[in-house]
Amino acid sequence: MNTFKSIYGIKEILAAIVLLTLFAMIDTLYYIQFYLTNSLSNDILFPAVVINLTGLIILALPAMQHKIEAKNSAALTDFLQLPAITDKLTFPVITTFLGEQALGAFLGTATIFITRSIFQSTLAGSTVLAACFCAAATFLTIVIICFSLVRFLMYFTKHAWPFYTIAGLTSLFIMLSFYALGLAL
């Protein structure tokens, strides 16, 4: 119990309560749909599994963050190659950021196509398999594009907050537009 209290503070517990309440309400709506139709269709099962798996991932984030922080944070910094404050913004940095965002868009597109093909197959349990794949691939894609965004924004931390804010919002817009483009294809 002490480790639970050290990982999850008051804010995390309140967020977890709100999320669990939201997921309980959503699951109740899916159960009502199931009860009214007397059948468990893919239209009910797929979103229910994706939403619940996404909720589990969100609820596990503080524990994952605690595990990462308990390890050597220098190893994570080296792995991500986070820039020092004195590093300059160069053309390769910008193209690397754009390339990583394009990778995120491609992964979003691939997730949609692969999930659709698994979902449409006639394998038993293919709906649950497609939902599990969709949740895991979406989480992985978001992690990749967010790490890329953080690495890019590190170059602007030495500037005043208005410049940093403009750079952050522009970068966020680029990240979201690349991802939306990938999902739209």
Of the chain, the percentage scoring pLDDT greater than 70 comes to: 91
pTM to 2 decimals? Answer: 0.72
Which of the given ranges, 57-66, 113-122, 142-151, has the highest pLDDT on average? Answer: 142-151
Please tell me the least confidently modeled range out of 23-37, 66-80, 159-173.
66-80
**90 contacts: CB under 8 Å, gap ≥ 6:** none
Give the number of other CB atoms < 10 A from CB of residue 140: 13
Residue identified by tokens 């990240």 is 175
Helix, strand, coil % (nearest 5) of the chain?
85, 0, 15
Mean pLDDT of 92-113: 85
Band of residue 62 on the pLDDT scale cut at 50, 70, 90: confident
pLDDT reported for residue 54 = 84
Q: What is the model's pLDDT at position 143?
A: 86
Please write the tens of the pLDDT for every residue from 12-59: 788 888 888 888 888 888 888 878 887 777 777 888 888 888 888 888
Please compute the mean of the pLDDT values over residues 148-168 and round it to a whole number: 81
Q: 């890329």: which residue's tokens?
A: 148
Q: What is the pLDDT of residue 169?
A: 83
What residue ranges do the domains of the chain occupy? 1-76, 88-185
Mean pLDDT of the chain: 80
CA distances from 78 to 62, 74, 75, 151, 163 (A): 22, 6, 5, 12, 26
